Structure 1
């Protein structure tokens, strides 16, 4: 990874009134683990608010949207998300190695 690369940031939020089961979350983790096995990917849930965030590589916004839309929590309307194209400007030396 280097300066100038594009990543995508996805911010997830719980849909009001939705109730996700442990099976829904297991499907979500399984899906994202598969996505993460093929590209740069970091993700997790927020500690102080419902929802979470992932940052990942995709070839373009169309592929990034497809990845987001195929997540079981999004697909089942349990969570919604906002997707942002993110230009890398600053990277720590450790990441660039």
Structure 2
């Protein structure tokens, strides 16, 4: 990854009107692990909030939305999301311990 790269930020918001089934979160993680194996990808949940954020590489906004729409939590309307294009301006050359 280099300065100037374009990444996509997806912020997820829990739909409190929908009930989760036992395997919904597992299906979500399985899907995201497959995507993460193909490209730069980091993600996680917000502490004390019902939602999360994913930062990933995609060719363009259309591909980023396609990836999001295939996520089982999004398909089942358990979460909604917003996607933002993000230009990488600052990148550490070295991070201790990583």
* Secondary structure of the structure 1 residue equivalent to 2:83: strand
Matches within 5 A, 1:1-97: 1-94=1-94
Structure 2: segments with no counterpart, 5+ residues: none
Unaligned runs of 5+ in 1: none
Q: RMSD across aligned C-alpha pairs, in angstroms?
A: 1.0
Per the normalisation by structure 1, the TM-score is: 0.94
4+ residue runs of structure 1 moved beyond 2 angstroms?
A: none
Report the TM-score when normalising by structure 2.
0.93
